[in-house]
Amino acid sequence: MVPITHFLILSSLLFVVGAAGVLLSRNLIVMFMSIELMLNAANLLLIAFSRHLNLMDGHVIVFIILTVAAAEAAVGLAIIINLFRNKETINADRFSLFKR
Amino acid sequence: MVIDTVIFYIAALLAVFGAIMMITVKNPVAAVMYLILSLIAQAVLYVQLGALFVGALLIIVYAGAILVLFLFVIMLLNLRGEQFEGGHPRLSLATKYFLSALFFIEAVIIFREASLALRFNAPMTAASETFGGVTQVAELLFTKYLYPFELTSILLLVAVVGAVIMAKRDKGEDS
């Protein structure tokens, strides 16, 4: 069996790639997908620990996180559609509504 | 147990490769495809960790439903030709790379300390036959975690109402 440390490193790598995607990308949809990737990195960690401790509670938490991700995708994509409707672009740098 | 390690490394490489390609590729449709590749590789890891039900759920719900929703929106907005240049970035590119590297170093330090403290390097014990099956997950879901489970239904209801209200056109701007 692969030691759990490997899963910890893989999960942190995926999380960092997701965080870098949010920072580096200008496309709102790619930023949004990076957030989903970060959620999935946390899910992988939960599954690995639930296997390591022989407890199934982690699986239930992952199930609930999947639900949250679905809800987040629905609301987030509605926001993106609205933004596109107003500005005809989804380049994140073009939105500066809160900047004085 | 060599085959286990080989499967782990192939799936891990595919997951990280898909993730990196997702944030670097220009075409949003290709980005969604790379995310699906990464998710399928992660589902392989879930199955390797004994989480059969959640692994199947990841493919069906995530790759099958959520990412298809992303594809719908990308095709609806017709983003393929859009260039993501120009605008006024708040942070310089160097700052962004520096922050990403800092994240990774932080994560490695945290996990190193944790693995030293808890001796995670010991190989995992064999799981029982029924670990991660549908019955076991459902049993926990409907007994110990009944209230969180019911609360997720309220969350979904709120999300549906919010999405409908936000995506709806105002009456005045019909044309």
Q: Taking 60 as the threshold, does the pLDDT of residue B100 lie above it?
A: yes
Within an 8 Å CB–CB cutoff, is residue B50 touching chain A? yes
Residues of B in contact with A14 (CB under 8 A): 15-16, 19, 38, 42
Answer for the pair B133, B53: CB distance below 8 angstroms, yes or no.
yes
Partner residue opposite B163 with nearest CB, options A32, A62, A78: A78
Residue in B44, B54, B108, B109 to test binding to A, most A beta-carbons within 10 Å: B54
Q: What is the pLDDT of residue B38?
A: 95
Cβ distance of A56 and B131 shorter than 8 Å = yes
Task: Say yes or no to pLDDT of B141 above 60.
Answer: yes
Mutate to test the interface with A, among B4, B36, B58, B73 (most CBs of A within 10 A): B73
Please list every residue in chain B whose beta carbon sits closer than 8 Å to the beta carbon of residue A79. Answer: 166
Averaged pLDDT for residues B158-174: 78
Report the distance separating Cα A95 and Cα A91, nearest Å: 7
What's the rounded Cα separation, in Å, for the pair B63 and A93? 29
Cα–Cα distance, B145 to B138 (Å, whole number)? 10
Query: What is the predicted ipTM?
Result: 0.91
The yes-or-no verdict on residue A51 having pLDDT over 90 is no
Mean pLDDT of chain A: 87
CB within 8 Å: B70 and A29: yes
Residue B136 pLDDT: 87
Rounded-to-integer distance, Cα A39 and Cα A22, Å: 13
Chain-chain contact of B166 with A18 (C-beta, under 8 angstroms): no
Residue A50 has φ and ψ, to the nearest 5°, of: -70, -30
pLDDT for residue A60 is more than 50: yes
pLDDT of residue B83: 63
Q: Do B73 and A77 touch (CB under 8 A)?
A: yes
In tens, the pLDDT along B16-64 reads 999 999 988 888 899 999 999 999 999 999 998 888 899 999 999 988 8
Q: Give the domain ranges of chain B.
A: 1-88
Using only the alpha carbons of chain B, give its radius of gyration: 21
Tell me if A48 sits within 8 A of B51, measured CB to CB: no
Does B107 contact chain A (CB < 8 Å)? yes
Query: In angstroms, what separates the C-alpha of A28 from chain B's closest C-alpha?
Result: 10
- pLDDT score of B94 more than 90: no
| Structure confidence by residue, pLDDT tens digits, A10-44 | 998 899 899 888 888 888 899 999 999 999 999 99
State if pTM tops 0.80. yes
- The pLDDT confidence band at residue B122, using thresholds 50, 70 and 90, is low
- The answer to whether A86 contacts chain B (CB < 8 Å) is no
Residue B25 is encoded by which pair of tokens? 């590729």
The CA-atom distances, in angstroms, between A91 and each of A80, B12, B25, B82, B156 are 10, 31, 15, 9, 28
Q: Work out the pLDDT band at B175, boundaries 50, 70, 90.
A: very low
Kindly state the helix (H) or strand (E) to which residue B79 belongs, with its residue range.
Answer: none
Domain B1-88 matching CATH 1.20.120.1200: the answer reads yes
Which pLDDT does position A69 carry in this prediction? 92
